[in-house]
Amino acid sequence: MGSLGYLLDLGMRYLFSCLAIFGFYVIGMGQELCRPVELRCEYLDSPLGIDEVHPRLGWKLKDGRQGARQLAYEVVVGVDSLLVERGGAGGVWTSGRKLSAAQLVSYEGPALKPWTRYYWRVIVWDKDGKKGALPGVASFETGMMGMANWRGAWISDSRDIRTGPAAYFRKPFRMGKKVRSARAYIAAAGLYELYINGEKVGDHRLDPMYTRFDRRNLYVDYDITGYLQQGDNAVGVLLGNGWYNMQSTAVWYFHEAPWRGRPCFCMDIRISYDDGSVETIVSGKDWKTSLSPIVFNSIYTGEHVDDRRQQAGWNRPGFNDSAWKEVVFRSAPSDNVVAQVLPPIRDVEKITPVSVKQLSDTVWVYDLGRNIAGVSELRVQGPAGTRLRLVHGERLYPNGHVDQSNISVHYRPVGDGDPFQTDIYTLSGKGEEVFKPLMGYKGFQYVEVVSSSPGVVLGANSLTGWFMHSDVGPVGRIESSDTLVNRLWSATNNSYLSNLMGYPTDCPQREKNGWTGDAHIAVETGLYNFNGIKVYEKWMADHRDEQQPNGVLPSIVPTDGWGYEWGNGPDWTSTIALIPWNVYLFYGDSRLLENCYDNIRRYVDRIDERGDNGVSSTGLTDWGLGDWIPVTTKPPVEFTSTVYFYADASILAKAAGLLGKKEDEKKYLALAEKIKKVFNGKYLDSTKGVYGSGLQTEQCMPLYWGLVPAEMKARVAASLAHRVQADGNHLNVGLLGTKALLSALSENGYADLAYTVATQRTYPSWGWWIVNGATTLYENWPIDAKSDISMNHIMFGEIGAWLFKGLGGILPDAGEPGFRHILLRPHFAKGLEELRASHDCPYGEIVSSWKTVGGKIVYTAVVPPGATAELELPWKKVGLTAGTYEFRQP
Ligand code: BGC
């Protein structure tokens, strides 16, 4: 910007910051050109391995001016980055100039070629129709683009599924020419670690992610250019069991999964040389295999390593593999191998223990100070052959030893060779040794290290914790003057992340199961706080793999077959409707809804026909588990399941409308209406404004899910409030009730009461856990419950979403989803002096914050460029365009 421009800019800023418009101030506006930023393909930064035929391209706008928005765009895609950079035709596809505010478009050019890097950029025209600044060029690279393009073979060693040791595979190769670029495409049934010339490729953990292996397998695409060298090279693969070859026996019978087999993999390495030629090195008969020092591995229980079995240099060139065995060909686990294009699981956070206690000359107990999912890493020195057991748990016995009794309950061990959540490490005795398991994870706060004999020395720094989870980027934040609110927000996120491993789980220790109910309760918490769309899209594909022809879905996904007959009613398995719908609301992207449409329809039809052998039901259903883990009261299962039946039918009708399926829209609207009518006819006492027997769950669920007739809402809300007050301003609900309770109160005139319930510090409440030291959410209300007391469950995690909805009041508008139009309805709860809620939506950061100054509220809102908002304050209602605003309570 020239100096005149700079002065003008300063002047404008000053002018705007002084301008009072309709009693509020518009502040902090800049004058730069509108510039597209954060160009993403499939929601990822310059991703590799795109198999999508129509990948989605999205961007945000950087434009500090009030009312900033985009009037038109043009997307340009090409294979020549210079051409694309010049902003002209990219050579492959241009959308043409579209008069549209859309900031997410799908590629509609000619069929994309496999293994090809495409460059793209977008040109935008700003609110005044002026061409914006050009962003940098972004890229995406296609992967295999279909089964037909694979060249490698699926290989394994010839061993039995019960073989303890994990297998190594290696292949040396020579490269004479100069490499321009190289990619490795690796698919595995089981878990793999990939090495080139002794170095681990990438930083992913526990790849590939868990899928229903006999229906769909994931491959990962790595840029390995930097790992290769001129001359001799070697590629090494270590294969672990994961969920593919479950060694441990628990009540869900994963050791009898129909897909079970000794792990295998398939790999293509494509090397493009400077001279334009391409060489493909593939998995095949010319590979060799041997057993690794990992003598046992189970993702469910632990990993046993005998470091005396190390084969130094096994994954480097020059290693003598003459004693290694031939590999065998294996049939592919499924005929559907697709790219894993989502944030990987990583070692995200390193945690230093807060204390270590030595209980004897062979026992140490480390305390991480917080509960996590992940692994512990040990640095140790000692005599060869010493065996160390690392026992992981969430709590301690009074005598200081690790207590696993709350989490080992569903484990059915055969013998004592596979102890629960325990790694076993045998020392080689060669100086300092580092042990970190590669093929599993655990849920824990404490690690008890037990040595087979004295002589090892462990100190405070010998053990480190690694918090592992799907590395989804944070997009939400809550900060407030109430430390309990802050701690609740962080505990909820800890549990959410501990339960995100390429699919949402219930708990990281006892089960690691993809429980559907837990996940739909937590989906808003997840989406307010993390950029989770890709994980949910992957998990919905898992759902589609699991659905029976009759529409039935299992209660855990993925599954070995367990859960088709238990727990899979609409109160749990409505994931199929609720998750795509929420992704639509948060991202304004209907692709997942579209991909799942048929599955939602089949599930809703199944609920509808379930009543009477295929004959349309009465509109009520008692299929389900009901309000799970309640404090003391639980409504009839028919009550709660019918509410979810209604929610599903309504979402289906809305999805049908959106996708132009007029007949379906009419049909399912009518079904939703019928359910509502029958439900209210049976359960609503309209003279009293009370549902059922007046329990909290019975009042809040119909309010939250929209079944209460408009004219009855105030009275039902009052009954709910009375019930809560009669219960001492404490909750008395189970997981279905927790989803609805706080929002039903705050959306219907009882925001202060909602805040009181949410921040109780006495039993039963979320705060009761926190004041008792919880850093995660629990599975049960009493902290000393005798059963169902995992200490890292996301099942009661709705509180995390409510902080954004019920306090910050940041809500998506289904009419203009993805926060293109934001509903801002902050609730200034009595006693909460300050709050700042922010959410980085597809358009940028939304902020809703307030503080109390001299007894009056000062409220600040930020609406990102491209979005608008409707703000509802107790003293005014106003429409906002992009900008930063401050409002003072009169
Ligand atoms: C899980 C829950 C799950 C439930 C179903 C439990 O064992 O841990 O979170 O939703 O079963 O009833």
Closest Cα to atom 12 of ligand 1: 567
CA–CA distance from 130 to each of 34, 97, 127, 515, 833 (Å)? Answer: 9, 13, 7, 50, 43
Q: How far is the CA of 566 from the centre of ligand 1 (A)?
A: 11
The pLDDT value given to residue 714: 98
**Amino acid identity, position 60:** K
Task: Please give the pLDDT value at position 85.
Answer: 84
Tell me the average pLDDT across 37-62.
Answer: 98
Task: Decide if 540 contacts 579 (C-beta within 8 A).
Answer: yes
Going from the Cα of 515 to the center of ligand 1, the distance in angstroms, rounded, reads 7
Q: Per DSSP, what are the bridge partners of residue 93?
A: 77
Nearest CA to ligand 1 atom 2: 506
Atom of ligand 1 nearest to the CA of 507: 8
Give which of 317, 160, 156 is closest to 230, Cα–Cα: 317
Backbone angles phi, psi at 370, to 5 degrees: -160, 155
d(C-alpha 141, C-alpha 233), whole Å: 25
Q: Are 309 and 427 in contact (CB under 8 A)?
A: no
Is the pLDDT assigned to residue 242 strictly greater than 90?
yes
Number of the ligand 1 atom closest to the C-alpha atom of 779? 9
Looking at the CA of residue 517, tell me the nearest atom of ligand 1. 10
CA of 352 to the centre of ligand 1 (A): 31
Q: What is the pLDDT of residue 22?
A: 44
Residue closest via CA to ligand 1's atom 5 equals 567
Phi, then psi, of 237 in degrees rounded to 5: -130, 130
Centre of ligand 1 from the C-alpha of residue 863, in Å: 39
Tokens matching residue 236: 């090494």
Instruction: With residue 518 as reference, give the H or E element that holds it.
Output: helix 516-521
Q: How far is the CA of 211 from the centre of ligand 1 (A)?
A: 20
631 residue type, one letter: V
DSSP secondary-structure letter at 411? B
Cα–Cα distance between 825 and 810 in angstroms, integer? 7
Q: What percent of the chain has pLDDT over 90?
A: 93
Asked if residue 208 has a cis previous peptide bond (ω within 30° of 0), the answer is: yes
Mean pLDDT over residues 855-861, rounded?
96
Local structure of residue 642 (DSSP, 8 states) = H
Q: 166-184: string of b/e by CB count within 10 Å (b at 16+)?
A: bbbbbbbeebeeebebbbb
Q: Would the pLDDT of 1 be above 60?
A: no
3-state DSSP assignment of residue 722 = helix
The C-alpha atoms of residue 311 and residue 237 are separated, in whole angstroms, by 14
**Residue 164: is it exposed, middle or buried by C-beta count within 10 angstroms (0-12/13-18/19+)?**
middle
Res. 202: pLDDT tops 80: yes
* b/e sequence 325-358, b meaning 16+ C-beta within 10 Å: eebbebebbbebbbbbbbbbbbbbeebebeebee
Phi, psi of 11 (to 5 degrees): -60, -45
Strand intervals (E) in 98-230: 104-106, 117-125, 138-141, 155-156, 167-175, 179-189, 191-196, 199-200, 217-223
CA distance 388 to 549: 50
* Structure tokens that stand for 394 in this block: 């969430």
- For 87-103, letters b (16+ CB in 10 Å) and e give beebebbbbeeeeebeb
47 three-class SS: coil
- What's the mean pLDDT in 116-135? 95
CA distance 805 to 826: 8
Q: Counting atoms of ligand 1 from 1, which one is nearest the CA of 555?
A: 5
One-letter identity of residue 778? Y
| Per-residue DSSP letter, 147 | G
> Ligand 1 mean position to 367 CA, how many Å?
27
Contacts of range 685-688, beta carbons closer than 8 Å, 24 or more positions apart:
686/712, 688/715, 688/719
- CB contact at 8 A, 374 and 442: yes
What distance in angstroms lies between residue 672's CA and the mean position of ligand 1's atoms?
28
Give the separation between CA 135 and CA 16, rounded to whole angstroms: 27
Q: Could you tell which of 505, 628, 777 is best to mutate to test the pocket of ligand 1, judged by most ligand atoms within 8 Å of the CB?
A: 628
Per the DSSP assignment, residues forming a β-bridge with 388 are 425, 451
Q: What is the pLDDT of residues 461-477, one digit of tens each?
A: 999 999 999 999 999 99
Task: State percent of the chain over pLDDT 70.
Answer: 95
Whether residue 172 contacts residue 221, with contact meaning beta carbons closer than 8 Å, is answered with no
Query: What is the three-class DSSP state of 805?
Result: helix
Look at ligand 1, atom 1, and give the residue with the nearest C-alpha: 506
- CA–CA distance, 303 with 381 (Å, rounded to integer): 19
Do residues 873 and 887 touch, judged by C-beta distance below 8 A?
yes
Ligand 1 atom closest to the CA of 628, numbered from 1: 12
- Atom 11 in ligand 1: which residue has the minimum CA distance? 515
Which parts of 230-352 fold into alpha helices (H)? none
Is residue 197's pLDDT more than 70? yes
For ligand 1, atom 8, which residue shows the shortest CA distance?
Answer: 506
If you measure from the C-alpha of residue 564 to the centroid of ligand 1, how many angstroms do you get, rounded to a whole number?
14
Q: Ligand 1 atom 9: the closest Cα is on which residue?
A: 506
Which residue, among 338, 766, 707, has the nearest Cα to 542 in the 3D structure? 338
Q: What is the pLDDT of residues 258-313, one digit of tens each?
A: 999 999 999 999 999 999 999 999 999 999 999 999 999 999 999 999 999 999 99
The residues that bridge with 250 in the sheet, in sequence order, are 411
Tokens of 82: 């210079």
**Cα–Cα distance, 639 to 67 (Å, whole number):** 46
What φ, ψ does residue 629 adopt, rounded to 5°?
A: 50, 60
Instruction: Provide mean pLDDT across the span 481-495.
Output: 98
Cβ contact 570:641 at 8 Å: yes
Identify the residues whose C-beta falls under 6 Å from ligand 1.
Answer: 506-507, 511, 515, 517-518, 567, 625, 628, 793, 795
Look at residue 618 in the predicted model and tell me its pLDDT: 86
Q: Which residue's CA lies nearest to atom 3 of ligand 1? A: 515
For 576-612, what is each residue's pLDDT tens digit? 999 999 999 999 999 999 999 999 999 999 999 875 4
Ligand 1 atom closest to residue 795's alpha carbon, by position in its atom list = 9
Ligand 1 test: best mutation among 408, 495, 509, 513, most atoms within 8 Å of CB?
Answer: 513
In the predicted model, what is the mean pLDDT of residues 337-356? 98
Q: Ligand 1 centroid to 505 CA: how many Å? A: 10
Per-residue pLDDT of 308-346, as tens digits, reads 999 999 999 999 999 999 999 999 999 999 999 999 999
Q: Give the bridge partners for 828, in sequence order.
A: none
- Per-residue pLDDT, 21: 42
* pTM, rounded to two decimals: 0.96
Residue 735 CA: nearest ligand 1 atom is 10
The CA-CA-CA angle for residues 276, 279, 283, to 5°, reads: 160
What is the reported pLDDT for 647?
98
CA of 630 to the centre of ligand 1 (A): 13
Contact in structure between 829 and 874 (CB atoms under 8 Å): no
Residue 83: the pLDDT is 87
Mean pLDDT of 403-428: 96
Q: What's the whole-number mean pLDDT along residues 177-188? A: 97
Spatial separation of the C-alpha atoms in residues 404 and 419, rounded to whole Å: 11
What is the C-alpha to C-alpha distance for residues 617 and 679, in angstroms, rounded to an integer?
Answer: 13
862 Cα to the center of ligand 1, angstroms: 39
Residue 2 is predicted with a pLDDT of 38
CA–CA separation, 879 vs 70, rounded Å?
18
Around Cβ 778, how many Cβ atoms within 10 Å?
29
Taking alpha carbons only, the member of 838, 802, 850, 846 closest to residue 820 is: 846
Residue 406 has pLDDT above 70, yes or no: yes
- Residue 3 is predicted with a pLDDT of 41
The helix or strand, by DSSP H or E, that contains position 35, with its residue range, turns out to be: strand 35-41
Closest CA to 860 of 99, 249, 24, 95: 24
Question: Which segments of 394-530 are extended strands (E)?
Answer: 395-396, 402-403, 422-426, 433-435, 442-451, 463-470, 476-480
CA angle 158, 160, 163 (to 5 degrees): 110
- What DSSP character marks residue 800? H
By CB atoms closer than 10 A (0-12, 13-18, 19+), residue 614 is exposed
Tell me, what's the pLDDT at 12?
40
pLDDT (mean) for 869-879: 97
Residue among 431, 413, 440, 511 at smallest CA distance from 294: 440
- Compute the mean pLDDT over every residue in the chain, rounded to the nearest whole number: 95
Q: What would the two tokens of residue 34 be?
A: 């509108």
Whether 6 shows a pLDDT value over 50: the answer reads no
Alpha carbon distance 238, 864 (integer Å): 47
Q: 798 C-alpha to center of ligand 1: Å?
A: 16
- CA of residue 603 to ligand 1 center, whole Å: 21
Cβ neighbours of residue 279 closer than 8 Å, sequence gap 6 or more: 175, 270, 271, 273
- Report the C-alpha gap between 431 and 433 in whole angstroms: 6
Indicate if the pLDDT at residue 711 is higher than 90. yes
Span from the CA of 779 to the centroid of ligand 1 (angstroms): 9
506 CA closest ligand 1 atom index = 9
**CA dihedral sign of residues 386, 392, 396, 397:** negative
List Cα–Cα distances, 57 to 35, 86, 491, in angstroms. 16, 19, 34
Could you count the other beta carbons within 10 Å of the beta carbon of residue 321? 18
pLDDT value of position 625: 97
Choose the residue to mutate in 518, 572, 796 for probing ligand 1, maximizing ligand atoms within 8 Å of C-beta: 518
Q: What is the pLDDT of residue 634?
A: 97
> Alpha helices of 611-695 — where are they, by DSSP H?
637-658, 662-683
| Owner of token pair 């929420």 | 582
Q: Which of 355, 373, 377 is nearest to 364 (CA)?
A: 355
Per the CB < 8 A criterion, the answer to whether 302 and 442 are in contact is: yes
pLDDT band at 10 (very low <50, low <70, confident <90, very high): very low
Tokens of 502: 């390429």
